[in-house]
Structure 1
């Protein structure tokens, strides 16, 4: 289960789910493998600006940032959208992206100052309202957007997500205040010093007005504020094509003229196509084929740290698992080194904590 460092290989689970199950951590990912076929189609040659290339992908579920936590969708979304910040791959510290700064005096009330030159691919200006609208849509429970729980720490979240059988008290987070075009004030329900790190996740990307006029059409052809824009509609089960955005003024300048995500039914099928030279890059090499990838691709196979965690969750609503001593015994009985070696070919490492 090699995964890119930005996302787990499966949708993340709500915090409430992590609380209500007993998580027996099996293995935390030590690395993620990326391989290239060596037949890159970039016209200018390897390492030079311009040209196009293809990336193997499995079918995403959505391309609207707030509607998905799927790792395959996020590979595309990260090219289409700039979130407020990003994380330095070297040490994980926060770097400005769509935002110029994210600051707080008390860790509860945060001020997000945006870059004044941000624009969407359709020419619409990126404003604080663009972020507020996107976050409210994701946080509003009846919408059923997958990233909903990422907004649980913002004041007013319970009013948008009442208990079953009750109606929401509103459709906007009371903790969001648009001060002006480039200033968004975010009030959390409690102090949280790591809030800026959360803003690097794709769920916190802005959305233009078009995202709310026809959500289905937007999902097939999202309009973002990132270095790449859609080149035609998403052709389900076939491809998603992106091209370099001429209007992008941010810090992540596109090196390539375009990228096409070729969609495959499985990672194994994609890996076979990579070996045949029918695709240029695969970012998630199947764990079982990691040794083969290393032999086949040599220095074109790279290994990177990843944030994936696999775990065995036990349903605490079942009385059989409510005894913590039983859960502890099951956890102690798991041979983590054996699992990581036999199943994951040593590319994962045993977890010693949930964090």
Structure 2
């Protein structure tokens, strides 16, 4: 599934409770105030990992932007809970720092035909209460995830049956070939719960005072609601022992988060905003790392007004100043981008996807040239300029305000009028979830990420019947290619189809891409080891966190 800005769930996506691009305690468009450099967007280097740690660490203090609502990711799939539990709860597959996947609690996986997946459950694994992980636990967990009331239910829509077919074997059969299912098993749909522990806890599972019901390098050792949450290394872990013995999580946002890192009260955080890292650029004793992410900053048009015409949408894409947005809105720490999904989605066939991204840059220039604007004006003339202003939906956060102003300026450059509609940040999520909330806007300043490292986890948003296809794009060939790609198990063949689908989506400007948004890791400069990529949401990052010196 993919994930829009304030993360909610949908057939193609889940949206985060706080906006992925919410800014730190900064205001105005002054790059210097953000700690930015006008050239940063061009020279920003993304690395999936940080240098390996050499020394062990007893205790680490880590910051989240929110306290988890629950530690049951089946019922509350928040990013805060996920950052904690990725160290505690293992999955059947594991997302790697380079955004590829490999079997984990499934020791082996085979596909006797393109509609069957056979998993061999790893032997010798224990839950944190000491009980052995069994195939029965795996099957029960999969069925719990698939329950219609659970967060991951839509990942199982193509599953025909799930059965235990051996002492340590689970067989899953599909209605049609499903290329993304194993990627879902590297996410929350692949968590294996301790059946007895979850059942005994009932509705209290995932709340303070309850056990974690997982296997993994760490176990939950305490949760003081409103104060802190602690995990400690599990001595009976079947795999490599963690470098850091204990991690205590606390939560803060905006200036409080920045100050805690600046003063050394906290050792690190995965910042939901690049501007958090930017605000710490001049702070001593802090390292900042940026990694590949699937996240993007986008404009999502509706069919209400002038942007229902694809020529007007293409004209806007040619005229908007992406480099200016990156510099003024995000301190140079997002990158102008020509597709609506970040490079972290390239979990396979990276060279092919990178080449396809470069080819599309002419339709989404970093900074529009005179030729770009001339072409945009031709498109407007051909379509017929809309008489009414294009209404731009946003909130008052700095990044979105900069984007909204840049969109209005782009419209003016090509002879069109723009009008900004600002709503309170608390109300902004309604634009995504409620058609009535966006009934008076023509385009939303949005952000999006996908949980699977595969571009095809995004492009179902352009299907004719997708709830996220707000502009009413309909193309039978596009729909056919998307479904074919989703059923193509061979990576090279699926990548070829994905590139074709991507080109059609961008050519039609179903959404208008602006920038990719890297993951941002902020860390005490004595420490190193965890991944910098978006894998931190699904990979046990704390186990590799340690000291630079042995």
Alignment TM class, shorter chain as reference:
0.7 to 0.9
Query: Is 2:281 the counterpart of 1:294?
Result: yes
Who is 2:169 aligned against?
A: 183
TM-score between both structures, scaled by the size of structure 1 = 0.74
Query: Is 2:338 the counterpart of 1:352?
Result: yes
The structural deviation recorded for 1:322 is 5.5
- Give the counterpart of 1:247 among 236, 243, 247: 236
Equivalence map 1:129-140=2 (5 Å): 129-140=136-147
CA distance in 1, matches of 2:108, 2:48: 33
Q: How many residues align?
A: 304
CA distance in 2, matches of 1:236, 1:320: 49
- Give the counterpart of 1:219 among 190, 195, 206: 206
Do the aligned partners of residues 33 and 180 (structure 1) sit closer, same or farther apart at CA in structure 2, a change above 3 Å counting? closer
Query: Is 2:88 the counterpart of 1:80?
Result: yes
CA distance in 2, matches of 1:9, 1:282: 19
Equivalence map 1:313-324=2 (5 Å): 313-314=300-301, 324=310
Give a deviation string over 1:108-136, Cα, whole Å, max 9, x none: 21111111112211122222222222222
Gapped regions of structure 1 (runs ≥ 5): 1-6, 19-26, 36-45, 156-174
- Give the counterpart of 1:128 among 124, 135, 145: 135
CA distance in 1, matches of 2:117, 2:6: 30
Query: Is 2:85 the counterpart of 1:97?
Result: no
Give a deviation string over 1:146-191, Cα, whole Å, max 9, x none: 3332333323xxxxxxxxxxxxxxxxxxx21112342111122321
The structural deviation recorded for 1:50 is 4.5
Who is 2:70 aligned against?
A: 62
CA distance in 1, matches of 2:282, 2:93: 37
The structural deviation recorded for 1:269 is 1.6
Gapped regions of structure 2 (runs ≥ 5): 15-40, 341-454, 456-550
Equivalent residues of 2:45, 2:290 under 8 A apart? no
The structural deviation recorded for 1:326 is 5.2
TM-score between both structures, scaled by the size of structure 2 = 0.50
Who is 1:149 aligned against?
A: 154
Do the aligned partners of residues 351 and 103 (structure 1) sit closer, same or farther apart at CA in structure 2, a change above 3 Å counting? farther
Do the aligned partners of residues 109 and 334 (structure 1) sit closer, same or farther apart at CA in structure 2, a change above 3 Å counting? farther
CA distance in 1, matches of 2:45, 2:201: 41
Do the aligned partners of residues 54 and 8 (structure 1) sit closer, same or farther apart at CA in structure 2, a change above 3 Å counting? farther
Give a deviation string over 1:309-355, Cα, whole Å, max 9, x none: 23343456x68875555555555554333322222222222332243
Give a deviation string over 1:245-278, Cα, whole Å, max 9, x none: 12211x34321221111122x1432121111111
CA distance in 2, matches of 1:17, 1:307: 12
Equivalence map 1:259-338=2 (5 Å): 259-264=247-252, 266-284=253-271, 286-297=273-284, 300-314=287-301, 324-325=310-311, 327-338=313-324
RMSD: 3.2
Do the aligned partners of residues 323 and 187 (structure 1) sit closer, same or farther apart at CA in structure 2, a change above 3 Å counting? farther
Q: Secondary structure of the residue that 1:295 maps to in structure 2?
A: coil
Q: Secondary structure of the residue that 1:246 maps to in structure 2?
A: coil
Who is 1:228 aligned against?
A: 218
Higher helix share: 2
